[in-house]
């Protein structure tokens, strides 16, 4: 079943929804403000884009749904985007730490204590 990602054009909230039929899509509304003014985002394809593109597409000011943070690939995206926009190369060490955080969050807590 396809899961599509939508952006609310009223409050900038991004959310995901399972859509089985075209008709169902018409009934969709934003969970944040109830608006029907939505834009479908490229979701399925977005899962295969490079991290660079994910960073570019990521809007740190947008409200995110819980699902967003359950996707471990989104962890650290905000920090990376900030670094990128400031022209900082976060380098291998940061990537390494981020990868650890994504795959084994407990290890980071252990390391920093
Ligand atoms: Zn909304």
Tens of pLDDT, residues 96-108: 777 777 777 776 6
Report the interhelical angle of 91-103 vs 77-85 (nearest 10°): 160
Contact 14, 60 (CB under 8 A): no
Confidence band of 113 (pLDDT split at 50, 70, 90): low
pTM given for the model: 0.39
Mean pLDDT of 80-109: 74
pLDDT at 85 over 70: yes
CA distance 94 to 79: 10
The pLDDT value recorded for residue 45 is 47
Distance 2 CA to ligand 1 centre (A): 22
Which H, E and C letters describe 54-73, residue by residue?
HHHHCCCCCCECHHHHHCHH
Backbone angles phi and psi of 44, in degrees to 5 = -50, -45
Distance 29 CA to ligand 1 centre (A): 8
Residue with tokens 């807590």: 109
Distance 7 CA to ligand 1 centre (A): 8
pLDDT at 46 over 60: no
């Amino acid at each position: 079943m396809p899961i599509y990602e939508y952006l609310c054009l009223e409050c900038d909230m991004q959310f995901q929804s399972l859509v089985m039929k075209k008709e169902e899509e018409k009934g969709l509304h934003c969970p944040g403000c109830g608006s029907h003014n939505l834009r479908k985002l490229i979701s399925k394809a977005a899962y295969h884009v490079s991290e660079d593109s994910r960073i570019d597409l990521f809007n740190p000011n947008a409200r995110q749904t819980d699902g967003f943070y359950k996707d471990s690939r989104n962890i650290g995206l905000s920090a990376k985007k900030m670094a990128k926009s400031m022209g900082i190369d976060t380098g291998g060490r940061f990537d390494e730490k981020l990868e650890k955080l994504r795959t084994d969050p407990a290890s980071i807590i252990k390391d920093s204590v």
